[in-house]
Amino acid sequence: MSHDVEARTRSKHEYEYARKRANQGMRNQVTVFAIMIFLTFIAFAAVQAGMSAYLVAPLILLFAAVQVALQLYYFMHWSEKGHGMAQFFMYSAAFIAFTMILAFVTIIWW
Amino acid sequence: MDLNKKFTPQSWPAHPENSTLEGKNKTLGFWIFLGGETVLFATLFATFLALKNKGPAGMEFSTQSLFELPLAFIMTMLLLTSSLTSVYAMYHMKNYNFKAMQAWLIVTVLLGLGFLGLEIYEFYHYVHLGFTFTQSAFGSSFYTLVGTHGLHVIIGLAWFILLMLRNSKRGLNLYNAPKYYLASLYWHFIDVVWVFIFTVVYLMGVLG
């Protein structure tokens, strides 16, 4: 079986444009990384500061959710085209994960 | 199509990981696997949340007495940074720059080894205090959750190292590009799990 490989030599302009886009993309990735570091720092600082757990716990869980979303959409490329199936599998898994954790936490909670 | 065909940066496809049928199938299959991994870690998180701080009457160990945030913070920074360095590696992979890709992967592996070393130190320290796997339900659920993540780190490191050694003289082609891409996805997934571990286990553990 011979498989089609979508490989053709790009024109010089196409290539330069692609490189420019890639550089821009990489700069965005570094920005995303800076945001993640910032969120991590705030989360640790909030816990260390000794504020009320009822305030800090939802805050750090929100930060974790944001960080994971950034990781998935940027570092793992979901924001690019063609990641519909990846999102379908992971959102299904997240739904099962959420249900399971909810069940465990509410059944065994004494 | 010869998979060992040599390319130039200009003829290298924009998405080398998805340019062959094999690459497409691997990516799809790998996301199914990551979905399964998500559910695996969910079971371990659920067990930990249900059993944390539970054990024999008068148990002296608790999340608040055991965990030290500075260590967890350093481990988080190491793993988060290693996630960025593997993004750099994939950036160079897509630019058909094999040497730069390998170099960034070496940095990634070193950061991962640093993380692993600190985790081993942490476990060693706890066991030294008497907090072992069999000491309590808390101990079992803690070591199973964090240990399974640590096992994933070991597998991810071994995967990167084997790929780098195996392809060191071969260079990039459409056969190994998807392999590098998936190893890097796996490494990001390890960081995703760690984000929940440092939040749910360490930070919320210290909060009480």
CA dist., res. A34 & res. A11, Å (int): 35
**In a shared domain, residues A53 and A94:** no
Nearest to B44 by CA among B187, B197, B191: B197
Q: Are residues A15 and A33 in the same domain?
A: yes
- Do residues A87 and A55 share a domain? no
Residue pair A48/B69 in contact by the 8 Å Cβ criterion: yes
A22 and A56 part of one domain: yes
The angle, 0 to 180 degrees and rounded to 10, between the axes of the packed helices B98-129 and B137-166 is 160
Residue holding tokens 């148990």?
A: B59
pLDDT single digits (tens) B122-153: 999 999 999 999 999 999 999 999 999 999 99
Closest chain B C-alpha to A7 CA, distance in angstroms: 5
Q: Which domain holds residue A102?
A: 81-110
End-to-end CA distance of chain A: 61
Among A73, A96, A98, A101, pick the best mutation site for testing chain B contact (most B Cβ within 10 A): A101
Q: Are residues A18 and A45 in the same domain?
A: yes
Domains parsed from chain B with CATH numbers: 16-52+65-207 (1.20.120.80)
CB distance B91–A29 less than 8 Å?
yes
> How many domains does chain A fold into?
2
Residue B38 with chain A: CB contacts under 8 Å: 90, 93-94, 96-97
What tens digit of pLDDT does each residue of B9-57 get? 888 998 899 989 999 999 999 999 999 999 999 999 999 999 999 999 9
Q: Are residues A6 and A55 in the same domain?
A: yes
Q: What single string gives the DSSP state of each residue in chain A? A: -PPP----PPPHHHHHHHHHHHHHHHHHHHHHHHHHHHHHHHHHHHHHTT--HHHHHHHHHHHHHHHHHHIIIIIT-TTSSS-HHHHHHHHHHHHHHHHHHHHHHHHS--
pLDDT in the model for residue B118 = 98
Most distant CA atoms of chain B, gap in Å:
68
Mean pLDDT by 10 residues, chain A (110 residues): 62 90 94 97 93 93 96 94 94 96 81
Helix H or strand E segment including B174: none
Q: For position A51, what pLDDT does the model report? A: 86
Specify whether A24 is located in the same domain as A46.
Answer: yes
CA distance B176 to B174: 6
Kindly report, residue by residue over B73-109, the tens digit of the pLDDT.
Answer: 999 999 999 999 999 999 999 999 999 999 999 999 9
Q: What is the pLDDT of residue A1?
A: 41
Note whether A20 and A48 are same-domain residues.
yes
> Distance between alpha carbon A52 and the CA centroid of its chain, in Å?
28
ipTM surpassing 0.95? no
Nearest Cα to B153, choosing from B202, B105, B186, B106? B186
- Asked if A12 and B10 come within 8 Å (Cβ–Cβ), the reply is yes
On whether both A63 and A75 belong to a single domain, the answer is yes
CB atoms near residue A26 (< 10 Å): 17
Question: Are A16 and A42 in the same domain?
Answer: yes
Within 8 A of B11 by CB-CB distance, chain A residues are 7-10
Give the pLDDT of residue A110: 55
Q: Do A6 and A54 fall within a single domain?
A: yes
User: How far lies A96's CA from each of A99, B16, B65, in Å?
Assistant: 5, 32, 32
Nearest to B47 by CA among B120, B148, B117: B148
The CA distance from B186 to B43, in Å, is 19
Helical axes B69-94 vs A12-48, angle rounded to 10° = 170
Whether residues B34 and A89 touch (CB distance < 8 A) is answered with: yes
Q: What is the mean pLDDT of residues B193-197?
A: 97
User: Is there a single domain that holds both residue A2 and residue A42?
Assistant: yes
Tokens read off for A25: 């993309």
